[in-house]
A and B are shown apart, each in its own frame.
Chain A
Amino acid sequence: MTGFQTLLYKEVLRFWKVSLQTLLAPLVSTLLYLLVFSHVMAGHTDIYPSITYAAFLVPGLVMMSMLQNAFANSSSSLVQSRVTGNLVFLLLTPLTPAEIFLGYVLASMLRGLLVGSVVCLTALSFFSLPFREPLWVAGFALLATFMSGALGVLAGLWAEKFDQMAAWQNFVILPLTFLSGAFYSLHSLPPVWAVVSRFNPFFYMTDGFRYGFLGHSDVPPLESLTIVAVTCLALSWGTMALLRCGWRLRT
């Protein structure tokens, strides 16, 4: 194994060893959302013609769980290593900034995708869901978990304490994922909020991901894909630049 593969392996082993908390807990909470919301909203008008609210909701919730778990993985691993001090073991190695970045991001993607697929499969046993464009589904799932994992690395570099990380979770990730259109369509929002939503990159992920299932979306999927891909590139470039100059790591 190369140094990069070792870091990836270590990061996967880390969440695997505590899978009750990292895989099962998010699965349970997402399924609870799904059961409650789909039941409450069952009688309401459908958002897209001939598509039930549950079918609308499932892709949004799957995306939300992927985003939250990918972020949680890289960010919590980094902040724990920093607070306990064992990050030095990584900093003493010849790994390059790109290897460190990708090691953390790929492990986060894996956790996000694992949670997402299990949520999706479980939901399918309760609700019927079309699966129109699998390539769009895969593409948005990969880009979304990548971006969220990368954002977790950035937050992990910045946060020096657990409460700073909690602030990221509560004031950035939670609002952005909740307001990403997981529960509603852009068209059902007041005009101001519809415009504001368009500045939320997570909105495009949710919308594009949902297009893959339903074949309907608020924004053309190619537009969403472009916006998400460009955001991923910019975020990767910025985070790797910070890693390269040792920002908050090599003081």
Chain B
Amino acid sequence: MSPAIRIQGVDKRFGSVHAVRSMDLEVNEGEFFALLGPNGAGKTTLINLLAGLSRPDAGHLFVQEFDVVRQYREARRRLGVVPQELVFDPFFTVRETLEIQSGYFGLPRNDDWIDELLMHLQLSDKAGTNMRALSGGMKRRVLVAQALVHRPPVIVLDEPTAGVDVELRQSLWKFIQKLNREGHTILLTTHYLEEVEALCERVAILKQGRLMALDTLKNLMSAHRAHRFEDVFIALMHNAGEQDVVA
């Protein structure tokens, strides 16, 4: 089967910062995949490149085999992105926000799905509330709903649980797992490694724009003779430092 996400020889610089370096990465259909790395590793940059919010200096990115630059319409229909930044449009209510996002994808009669999203994300009683009047965690959940409103087969979540309370974090992951079981491919970034252990099979670990590791959790743990994934992560980050000195 062709991969849900294919990243081929991608390079991205911001002035002197080399944010993504000759990156090759594939995420398979139906995977629950984590993109990990310390602050500034290039995770968000890679997601922005995939979403077409940013253009690569070299290389190509594909969503279900559609080039995100040349076939952007097809690629974007298949991709839902929860951005890392808490952004919202203060002119509209929660429901208006979701209806507008749905409409952008040409899906006008989408009320049932919008209601279901609101229910799963525990926003039903906030549907008529202006975005400005929501708490940070609620705004984050609206971002998740917005990313899912067009039922994309490939879902990218950039730190979706930052600032979300424990209970809601659990219900959010339950919902995302349900979507994953129904066949959606999930790519997530997070700094909570216990979430990764609980949810993901395979991970990619980035540092300074480079791919440091790409394997299943199980293989990485046994290769490092570790009991906790955190130890693997820390070991990899230290190795990376040494490599940099050599390079």
Contact = CB atoms under 8 A, between A and B. Distances in A.
B53 A250 contact: yes
B60 to A, nearest CB: 15
Contacts, number: 76
Interface string A153-173: 000000000000000000000
Given A81-B89, A86-B87, A250-B52, A96 B108 contact: no
Contact of B53 (A1, A81, A88): A88
Interface string B128-170: 0000000000000000001000000000000000000000000
Interface in B176-208: none
B73 A96 contact: yes
Interface in B94-146: 96, 100-101, 103-106, 108, 146
Interface stretch (B3-11, B22-30, B77-85, B237-245): B77-85
Given A94-B76, A250-B55, A3 B106 contact: yes
Contacts of A91: 51-53
Contact of A89 (B52, B55, B89, B106): B89
A22 to B, nearest CB: 11
Nearest to B99: A6
B140 to A, nearest CB: 14
A90 B76 CA distance: 11
B55 A17 contact: no
Nearest to B72: A94
Interface centre among B52, B89, B96, B101 (most CB of A within 10 A): B89
Contact of A85 (B74, B85, B92, B104): B85
A45 interface: no
Interface string B61-80: 00000000000111011010
Contacts of A246: 55
A13 B87 contact: no
Nearest to B147: A92
Given A17-B91, A81-B89, A246-B55, A89 B73 contact: no
Nearest to A5: B103
Interface string A211-251: 00000000000000000000000000000000000100011
A7 B87 contact: no
Contact of A9 (B55, B103, B106): B103
Given A88-B53, A94-B72, A246-B55, A3 B88 contact: no
B52 A85 contact: no
A188 interface: no
A147 B104 CA distance: 25
Interface of A: 1-3, 5-7, 9-10, 13-14, 17-18, 81, 84-86, 88-96, 246, 250-251
Please name the 8 residue pairs, one residue from A and one from B, whose CB atoms are nearest each other, closest first. A6-B103, A85-B87, A94-B73, A93-B104, A86-B89, A1-B108, A94-B76, A3-B104
14 contacts: A3-B104, A3-B106, A6-B100, A10-B92, A13-B91, A13-B96, A86-B87, A86-B89, A89-B87, A89-B146, A90-B104, A92-B52, A92-B81, A94-B77
